[in-house]
Amino acid sequence: MLLCGWLVLVSGCEPKKTSVPAAATHTVVDDLGRKVTLPVQPKRIMGLDASMTEMLYAVADTATIVARTQHCDYPKAVLSKPVVNNYPMDYERLLTLRPQVVFATEGIISAEVAAQVQKMGIPVYFQAYDSVADVLRGLQTLGRLLKREQTAQAVLDTLRQKLQSLAVSPSPAKERPKVLAVIWHDPIYVFGRNTIFTDKLRYLGADNAVPEVFAQQSPALTREYILQLDPDVLVGGSFAEFEKSFFSLYPELRRIKAYRNKRIYPVTDDLMSRPSPRVVESIAELKRVIW
């Protein structure tokens, strides 16, 4: 006791109680119109799907990203992060990693999963991407929410320059190629009209062979319907792969232009299916096969 008293006298100060201030928060509205309360500058974040993880890696301080899902594999640096399964959702694992906010993509993470995560005290912020412009806007929004505005702007400037260099303006006298993207063979699922795929083609002076909007973004099409569409280009696998696993099932579809002209091409699945900053790479890949 004498020693403690002497230390207080020598230091010239008395012991004080300390407390950790609560993180400042603000309420924002996500792309689904949901009000979400987030830390003003979150220090522990996570993307609940591969697309969102790529978005975060483009903008965020990567040290703040605490985990990835089992599907997240880009960029390679993400592979060093702990894994939280998102299908089915591993709520217990998510809770142990204590993210202050998780980001999700509409259509990949369900409303039910988001509600359960929020019950655990972890806010969920959704972004929605129906166009290339939506991806760019999403990056800008993440920059603002994560206090990384300058980083986000630099990424946006680079992407916009690349988009400008890729744009194709075909001659008015020339028909826009009709492109059908097959994502499953039995039944035949394709990227529908109301998808980012359609907008990618717009940059290239091409068009989605599916002219109408279905309730599902990836509708199942009948053989009769595809014969009517008669696409100029088919993407989703090589000619040999389609011959073996697609046209052997549907031999009558060998009458479409894409087959007769051997305009059937493989494309990178991740680039096609993930709305992310790599949307520009996807457009460049489509440009190579269409033109």
Same-fold call for 25-164 versus 178-290: yes
Q: Are 200 and 282 a contacting pair, CB within 8 Å?
A: yes
Beta bridge partners of 234: 180, 264
What's the CATH number of domain 178-290, 3.40.50.620, 3.40.50.1980, 3.40.50.10680, 3.40.980.10?
Answer: 3.40.50.1980
Q: Please, what is the average pLDDT of the chain?
A: 92
Domain 25-164 in CATH 3.40.50.1980:
yes
Sheet holding 101-105, edge to edge: 45-47, 101-105, 124-127
Whole-model pTM?
A: 0.89
pLDDT of residue 12: 42
What's the rounded Cα separation, in Å, for the pair 215 and 238?
29
Sites in the chain below the pLDDT cut of 70? 1-23, 171-173
Domains of the chain by residue range: 25-164, 178-290
Q: 165 Cβ partners below 8 Å, 6+ apart?
A: none
DSSP SS3 for 37: strand
pLDDT of residue 258: 98
What's the rounded Cα separation, in Å, for the pair 166 and 91?
42
